[in-house]
Amino acid sequence: MRAQPRASLKRIVRHLFHRWLAPVCDPLVALRGLRRYPHYIAEWRRYTQLPGAEPLRLADAYPQLHDRTATSSIDPHYFYVNGWAMRRIVAQRPAHHVDIASQTIFVNLLAAVLPVTFVDYRPLQASLAGLTPRAGDILDLPFADGALASVSCLHVAEHIGLGRYGDPLNPQGTRQACAELARVLAPGGQLYFAVPVGRPRVCFNAHRIHAVPTILEYFSALALVEFSAVHDDGRYEEDAALTALDNSDYACGLFLFTKT
């Protein structure tokens, strides 16, 4: 096996160092924050000298040091995935929609338009008109075969079986989750599905990354209606070629399936 270039090895070491430290204390965020405190203190002083300024107390101080950016920041995967799915579901206007463990803000907004049941391994403790939380395991969904006409599962299946959310360890987690989603989908129904796509690997215990052909194999019992993509650089592409993400590192594939 060829030795890795020295620069590449250093980059990998820095990357690993950051990933292992970030869950308890992200050194990059901490360093940026420390560098911004002088500006925070200077603005505190300027504010207190403005006409009509309210009195400031140290006990009420709440430094926000990371929001002064040139543009509004987003997570491209979730920003585009949630919008992609919601636009299509609302256009279909199903009588009832079931979401499996996607972002709670997504199901909250969707429930403002149509009735939604939200199923999660960790039950949602919330009460809201139009939204029905339900405890359930994506590997054993509480629905009969072919029972659901409209289903979404967005940026979820890549986590299954890695223990990140307290679920049992299972190397076949993503494959089995896909099989279960296909099982509960009704004939003619719509499944909105998204996962990270690119060079196949497991980033334990965060997620798996799959190749597009692997996902199509997992859903071989369904027909693909649409494939869209979020590229590594954050660019969104509708109706992308199935090969568009072949050389990606951490892109996102957006799949719309139906059961014929």
CATH class of the structural domain 76-258: alpha beta
Instruction: Retrieve residue 34's tokens.
Output: 């420390």
Q: Which residue spans of the chain are classified as CATH 3.40.50.150?
A: 76-258
The CA-based angle 200-204-209, given to 5 degrees, is 25
Q: What is the tens place of the pLDDT at every residue in 242-251?
A: 999 999 999 9
Q: How confident is the model at residue 4 (pLDDT cuts 50, 70, 90)?
A: low
**Alpha-carbon gap, residue 180 to 168, rounded angstroms:** 16
**Exposure string for 154-177, b = 16+ CB within 10 A, e = fewer:** bbbbbbbbbeeeebeeeeebbbbb
Nearest to 257 by CA among 200, 218, 199: 218
| pLDDT tens string 177-234 | 999 999 999 999 999 999 999 999 999 999 999 999 999 999 999 999 999 999 999 9
pLDDT greater than 60 at residue 3: no
Distance of CA 188 to the CA centre of its chain: 26
Residue with tokens 């679920």: 167
Report pLDDT for 6: 67
pLDDT of residue 194: 98
Q: What is the pTM of this model?
A: 0.92
Give pLDDT, residue 17: 78
pLDDT at 134 > cutoff 80 = yes
